[in-house]
């Protein structure tokens, strides 16, 4: 059903923009007025924050400044600046990149199109800043991250508004993403203190043929400069999931946000700026992937790449060289439904897992593999729930909102038309207006249809009827993807056996695929990725082991 027309979401900005002859300026007087009226959290009158500044000794000093004086101008005219060396800058290229609103299909924002020379300066600054940051006490790094988390939550409405306009994320989900991101940063600060605060002590006589003449001390040290590339669908959450582990581990961070979602990411980076991290430690470079993409990922000054996205990651992995890679590259997450499954639970999980955020999630249910004996029943239940989904603009908090770009909508439509040509049963009439595609369930899908294998990243869900569990496992494992999968059954013994047989990074039992909670391991097999995410795994991945061996002149054994 069409989501009813509403006025949209009223978002209170942290400061009112007033256009002058040259640019937009943040007006602190308006901020003060909003603060007195309780409308501008984080900029209250008389409130101060601690700002860290560089110190030659490698430590971080704190100075006290009124927070209203730190409001930075991050936009020049109608173009957002990029962030480098603790400052907001305009690219010398004189070029911009337009961000198209998926709902209106008109230009919503513009960002700088940075040049390769500017990337060079950013990476060099990051290298220098990292050397000092690595000498900053662990507790101090954690303290600054906690402050960033708090400021991020204070600015949730401003950032959420960008998510609504840039990627058509429903308003409530947009706010949730920002709050979740703040929680992730705080958890990472705590976990980092624990994970990095301990090392190992080894003695040589535990290996055959050795006396106790050597003591080995191991610790985790930073990699250097981490390049973070998040995707459009979670440009804030999947940015901080890279930023926070990198910083707590003592690395510097260069962020290349997606075009759709870049302004939300810039506002997020502004929150880190307000904390006062050392200049050059965090940078955010915007621009066209065709001009600076390969230059960034192949840059000799980059020591680690954390990427979330599509098959672009495969190309990056082939070019990046001998540096650690953390990659999540999508999935074709299969849902296997056995005859003894709770069909009501399965249907509600499939609709939520397959259609939330219009199916634009790596962990969305991408194909339903259901035993023939219960196929009619589960299709009927899914259809009933699909009919209740609301369709419309993200400002109205609709379940189904426009997909991110016209090219994405065209790709989805291509999969749908291929299925129609080959005889799939349409449970709903296919309907599209611009980037908005109504939810569609396709029954009787066969393996010769593209939708059976390709990831639509949209509100279209195929159902394949199977005659055995082995058939379902075979289809799951025949995919080049291996991110997640799920099983619905009341028999836990069967569930474990099927889980073990599925070639996926995670298997959910009696629930739809999901990324999170954010401290859970998250990884893919085959073309779905390299390495593992999750807060602890990301911290460990962004460090390396350093050993120091003490050699004794004679064996020494500790006595009681």
Q: Given the structure tokens 């099983």, which residue do they identify?
A: 487
- Tally of CB atoms within 10 A around 42: 19
3-state secondary structure 40-66: CCCCCCCCEEEEEECCCCCCCEEEEEE
Residue 102 DSSP symbol: T
* Residue % of the chain over a pLDDT of 90: 86
Nearby residues of 28 by Cβ (< 8 Å), 6 or more positions away: 15, 68, 69, 71
Backbone φ, ψ for residue 522 (5° rounding): -140, 115
Please provide the average confidence, as pLDDT, over all residues in the chain. 89
C-alpha dihedral, 407 to 409 to 412 to 414, nearest 10° = -70
CA–CA dist 539, 247 (Å, integer): 9
The residue-averaged pLDDT of 420-425 equals 98
Percentages helix, strand, coil for the chain, rounded to the nearest 5? 40, 25, 40
Q: What is the mean pLDDT of residues 260-273?
A: 98
pLDDT digit string, tens, across residues 497-517 = 999 999 999 999 999 999 989
3-state secondary structure of 6: coil
Active-site residue, from 143, 154, 166, 328: 328
Residue ranges of the domains in the chain?
67-329+536-543, 334-518
What confidence tens digit (pLDDT) does each residue in 287-325 have? 999 999 999 999 999 999 999 999 899 999 999 999 999
Residue of 38 and 129 predicted with greater confidence? 129
Kindly tell me if the per-residue pLDDT of 454 is higher than 70: yes
Instruction: Write down the residue that tokens 């619905």 correspond to.
Output: 488
Alpha helices in 320-455 (DSSP H): 343-355, 372-386, 406-421
Among 67-71, 255-259, 288-292, 458-462, the minimum mean pLDDT is found in 67-71
pLDDT tens per residue across span 95-128: 999 999 999 999 999 999 999 999 999 999 999 9
Residue 558's pLDDT band, with cuts at 50, 70 and 90, is confident
Least confident of 51-60, 213-222, 505-514: 51-60
pLDDT at 161 over 50: yes
What would the two tokens of residue 435 be?
Answer: 């980037």
Evaluate whether 67-329+536-543 and 334-518 have a shared fold. Answer: no
Over residues 176-185, the mean pLDDT reads 98
Task: Indicate the pairing of strand 525-526 with strand 481-482.
Answer: antiparallel
First to last CA, the chain: 76
Architecture of domain 334-518: 3-Layer(aba) Sandwich (3.40)
406 catalytic per annotation = no
> Which tokens sit at 253?
């961070």
**Class level of CATH domain 67-329+536-543:** alpha beta
Please report the DSSP string for 147-186 in residue order: HHHHHHHHTHHHHHHHHHHHH---HHHHHHHHHHHHHHHH
Q: Is the pLDDT of residue 67 over 90?
A: no
Alpha carbons 509 and 338: distance in angstroms, whole number = 12
Q: Average pLDDT for residues 126-132, to the nearest whole number?
A: 98
Nearest CA among 116, 140, 163 for reference residue 55 = 140
Give the residue-averaged pLDDT of 463-486. Answer: 98
CA distances from 549 to 184, 426, 443, 558 (A): 36, 67, 64, 18
Q: Is 254 left (phi over 0), alpha (psi -120 to 50) or beta?
A: beta
Query: Given a cut of 90, is residue 220 above it in pLDDT?
Result: yes
Give the model confidence (pLDDT) of 343-374 as tens digits. 999 999 999 999 999 999 999 999 999 999 99
Nearest to 379 by CA among 415, 446, 428, 427: 427
Residue 284 neighbours by CB under 8 Å, 6+ apart: 82, 83, 84, 254, 255, 256, 257, 265, 266, 269
């Amino acid at each position: 059903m069409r989501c009813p027309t509403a006025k949209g979401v009223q978002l209170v900005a942290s400061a009112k923009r007033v256009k002058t002859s040259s640019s937009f300026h943040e007006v602190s007087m308006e901020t003060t007025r909003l603060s007195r009226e309780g409308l501008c959290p984080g900029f209250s009158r008389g409130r101060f924050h601690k700002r860290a500044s560089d110190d030659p000794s490698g430590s971080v000093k704190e100075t006290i400044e009124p927070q209203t004086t730190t409001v930075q101008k991050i936009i020049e005219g109608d173009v957002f600046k990029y962030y480098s060396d603790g400052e907001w800058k305009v690219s010398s290229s004189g070029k911009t990149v337009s961000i198209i609103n998926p709902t209106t299909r008109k230009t919503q924002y513009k960002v700088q199109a940075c040049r390769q020379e500017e990337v060079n300066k950013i990476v060099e600054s990051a290298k220098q800043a990292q050397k000092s940051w690595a000498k900053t006490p662990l507790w101090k790094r954690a303290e600054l991250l906690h402050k960033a988390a708090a400021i991020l939550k204070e600015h949730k409405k401003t950032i959420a508004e960008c998510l609504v306009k840039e990627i058509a994320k429903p308003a409530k989900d947009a706010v949730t993403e920002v709050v979740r991101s703040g929680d992730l940063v705080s958890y990472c600060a705590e976990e980092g203190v624990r994970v990095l605060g301990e090392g190992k002590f080894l003695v040589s006589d535990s290996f055959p043929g050795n006396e106790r003449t050597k003591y080995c001390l191991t610790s985790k040290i930073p990699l250097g400069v981490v390049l973070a590339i998040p995707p459009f669908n979670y440009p804030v959450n999947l940015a901080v999931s890279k930023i926070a582990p990198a910083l707590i581990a003592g690395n510097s961070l260069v962020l290349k946000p997606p075009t759709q979602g870049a302004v939300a990411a810039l506002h997020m980076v502004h929150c880190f700026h307000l904390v006062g991290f050392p200049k050059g430690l965090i940078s955010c470079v915007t621009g066209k992937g065709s001009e600076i993409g390969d230059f960034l990922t192949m840059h000799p000054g980059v020591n680690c790449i954390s990427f979330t996205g599509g098959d672009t990651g495969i190309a990056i992995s082939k070019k990046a060289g001998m540096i650690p890679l953390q990659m999540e590259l999508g999935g074709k997450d299969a849902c296997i439904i056995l005859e003894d499954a709770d069909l009501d639970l399965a249907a509600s999980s499939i609709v939520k897992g397959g259609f939330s955020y219009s199916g634009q999630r790596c962990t969305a249910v991408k194909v339903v593999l259901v035993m023939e004996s219960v196929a009619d029943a589960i299709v009927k239940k899914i259809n009933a729930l699909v009919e209740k989904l609301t369709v419309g603009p993200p400002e109205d908090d609709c379940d189904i909102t426009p997909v991110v770009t016209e090219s994405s909508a065209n790709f989805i439509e291509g999969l749908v038309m291929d299925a129609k040509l080959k005889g799939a049963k349409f449970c709903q009439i296919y309907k599209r207006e611009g980037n908005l595609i109504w939810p569609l369930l396709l029954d009787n899908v066969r393996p010769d249809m593209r939708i059976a294998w390709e990831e639509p990243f949209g509100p279209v869900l195929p159902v394949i009827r199977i005659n055995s569990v082995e058939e379902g496992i075979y289809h799951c494992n025949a995919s080049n993807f291996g991110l997640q999968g799920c099983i619905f059954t009341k028999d836990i013994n069967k569930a474990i056996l099927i889980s073990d047989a599925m070639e996926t990074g995670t298997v959910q039992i009696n629930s739809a695929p999901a990324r999170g909670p954010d401290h859970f391991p998250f990884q893919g097999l085959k073309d779905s990725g390299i390495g593992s995410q999750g807060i602890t795994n990301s911290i460990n991945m962004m460090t390396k082991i350093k050993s120091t061996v003490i050699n004794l002149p004679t064996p020494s054994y500790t006595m009681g």
